[in-house]
């Protein structure tokens, strides 16, 4: 499937293929925020480590970033998988201290820095990971996520990671990820030899305490490999 996220902007926050499902009345009923930019994936697509998350939440400072040009640019470059070069990938957008005109740092930056503090200290190099969300649109709480046409592209990304034997980290939503029937992705994830599952999905943290010493060393070694 072709990347359905290349035309995202502040005036177009829903993938064209999803618009028959993700429309204002439905979103109001389900608590989905389409005034914000979607986040189907982020990070470096060439990373040796692929993290599977649930869906982006709604931050306390999101309103400050509405129509912000810098945030839009970072998001569009991420969704277009825009790399400076194969050997010099763009910095993971949530580690760039994205600030709005009021000087407020985006909640996404604060969240990721807090959750990966131990990991960044351990590897001592820029953290290049690739994160895929099960559901790409923002919501305040977990909901019964509908199946979307854009799921095909999400599944393409996971299928590629599985075929390449990449290290996959399930952050949240294990039941949902294991339930993907397309190309038997869910069953293949369960049996994937290179799989780490964070122990507390309600309080995510990339640390030795949450994954154990063996997996911690495996994760660090994968992240230190040149891309």
User: For residue 85, what pLDDT is reported?
Assistant: 52
**If you average pLDDT over residues 189-196, what whole number do you get?**
97
pTM, two decimal places: 0.94
For residues 130-139, average pLDDT: 96
Q: Which residues contact 151 (CB under 8 A, 6 or more apart)?
A: 182
Q: Which of 43-47, 53-57, 65-69 has the lowest mean pLDDT?
A: 43-47
Predicted local distance difference test score (pLDDT) of residue 4? 97
Burial class (CB in 10 A: 0-12, 13-18, 19+), 24: exposed
Handedness of CA 115, 164, 154, 89 (dihedral sign): positive
- Give the DSSP letter string of 143-175: --PPP-TTHHHHHHHHHHHHHTT-EEEE-S-HH
Predicted confidence band of residue 23 (pLDDT cuts 50, 70, 90)? very high
Indicate if the pLDDT at residue 84 is higher than 80. Answer: no
Domain layout of the chain by residue ranges: 16-224
Give which of 41, 55, 160, 156 is closest to 94, Cα–Cα: 41
Tell me the C-alpha distance between 14 and 35, whole Å. 9
At 125, is the pLDDT very low, low, confident or very high (cuts 50, 70, 90)?
confident
Q: Is the pLDDT of residue 90 over 70?
A: no
**Which band of pLDDT confidence, cut at 50, 70 and 90, is reported for residue 223?**
very high
Dihedral over Cα of 29, 34, 35, 40: its sign: positive
The rounded mean pLDDT for the chain is 92
| Token digits of residue 215 | 């997996």
**What average pLDDT does the segment 85-93 reach?**
60
* 159 pLDDT more than 80: yes
Contacts of 175 (CB under 8 A, 6+ apart): none
Of residues 102 and 52, more confidence is placed in 52
Residue 200: is it exposed, middle or buried by C-beta count within 10 angstroms (0-12/13-18/19+)? exposed
Closest CA to 132 of 55, 38, 204: 55
What pLDDT score does 185 carry?
A: 98
């Amino acid at each position: 499937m072709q990347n359905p996220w290349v035309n995202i902007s502040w005036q177009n926050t829903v993938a064209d293929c999803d618009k028959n499902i993700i429309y204002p009345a439905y979103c109001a009923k389900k608590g989905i925020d389409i005034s914000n930019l979607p986040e189907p994936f982020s990070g470096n697509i060439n990373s040796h480590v692929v993290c599977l998350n649930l869906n982006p939440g709604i931050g306390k400072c999101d309103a400050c970033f509405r129509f912000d040009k810098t945030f839009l640019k970072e998001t569009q470059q991420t969704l277009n998988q825009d790399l400076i070069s194969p050997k010099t990938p763009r910095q993971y957008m949530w580690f760039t201290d994205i600030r709005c005109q009021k000087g407020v740092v985006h909640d996404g930056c604060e969240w990721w820095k807090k959750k990966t503090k131990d990991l960044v200290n351990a590897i001592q190099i820029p953290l290049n990971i690739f994160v895929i969300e099960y559901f790409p649109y923002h919501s305040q709480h977990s909901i019964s996520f509908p199946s979307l046409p854009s799921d095909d592209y999400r599944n393409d990304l996971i299928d590629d990671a599985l075929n390449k034997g990449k290290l996959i980290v399930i952050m949240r939503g294990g039941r949902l990820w294991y339930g993907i029937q397309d190309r038997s992705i869910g069953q293949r994830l369960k049996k994937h030899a290179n799989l780490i599952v964070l122990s507390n999905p309600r309080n995510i943290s990339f640390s030795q305490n949450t994954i154990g010493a063996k997996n911690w060393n495996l994760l660090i070694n994968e992240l230190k490999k040149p891309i």
